[in-house]
Amino acid sequence: MSGLIVVFARAVTAVRAIWPESGPPQGQNIYFANHSSHGDFILVWAVLPPWMRVRTRPVAAAEYWLKSKLNRFIGCDVFNAVLIERDREKRTRDPIEEMSGALDAGSSLILFPEGTRNETEARLLPFKSGLYNLAKARPTIDLVPVWIDNLNRVMPKGEFLPIPLICTVSFGDALHVGPDETREAFTARAEAALLALSPKQEGTSQ
């Protein structure tokens, strides 16, 4: 099933990866990406080399991926997602502990630090605290910025069928949180690293 999804994603989007000069990241990583569609993690997952793909898990909203049997099958059985309950009052586990546990088990993660899909004209929403807290909890793991371009046009909100368009997934150089780096300083640096990978469009706000 995962293979079929990868083939379908590539057929519809003709997605291609753009790697930094150093090439694809090696070892265990936390990929942090912009978020404009429920299909974002599929594109990141699809362009990873097979040996990296099999050990990479997306971090996703539990309320979406558990809302139906099909969603549960795709989220849990196909992609083995780390499902996070976004409503604090409904949480039974600490999200940082859940993600740290997945990392400790040897997985890489795909994370969307904006916390929700960006449906505004801004290129990026302000980051939530999750990426910083996870980086502090596991400071030796590489944090790799990833910019996904065009997927919001392939799957506009409310549309059932995708519109074939070419998408790109651009990977940047890895970051690490400094020992004494504040959340504000790290977040500004991580946001800048992600925006540096985005297409520069005149008149588009940041």
Domain-wise residue ranges, the chain: 2-195
Q: Is the pLDDT of residue 160 over 60?
A: no
In the numeric block, which tokens belong to residue 33? 């990406």
d(CA 150, CA 88): 32
Residue with tokens 């599929």: 42
Q: Is the pLDDT of residue 12 over 60?
A: yes
Average pLDDT over residues 98-118: 94
pTM attached to this predicted model: 0.86
Q: Give the residue, 162 or 189, on which the prediction is more confident.
A: 189
* 144 to 6, 98, 130, 171, 180: CA distances (angstroms): 21, 20, 15, 7, 20
* 122 to 126, 150, 198: CA distances (angstroms): 10, 14, 12
In the numeric block, which tokens belong to residue 25? 């990241």
Q: Give the residue, 115 or 166, on which the prediction is more confident.
A: 115
Average pLDDT over residues 69-82: 88
CATH of domain 2-195: 3.40.1130.10
Average pLDDT over residues 104-123: 91
d(CA 132, CA 177): 8
Q: Please, what is the average pLDDT of the chain?
A: 85
In the numeric block, which tokens belong to residue 193? 């690293």
Backbone dihedral angles phi then psi of residue 144, each to the nearest 5 degrees: -110, 115
Q: Is the pLDDT of residue 128 over 90?
A: yes
Rounded to 5°, the CA angle 92-93-95 comes to: 135
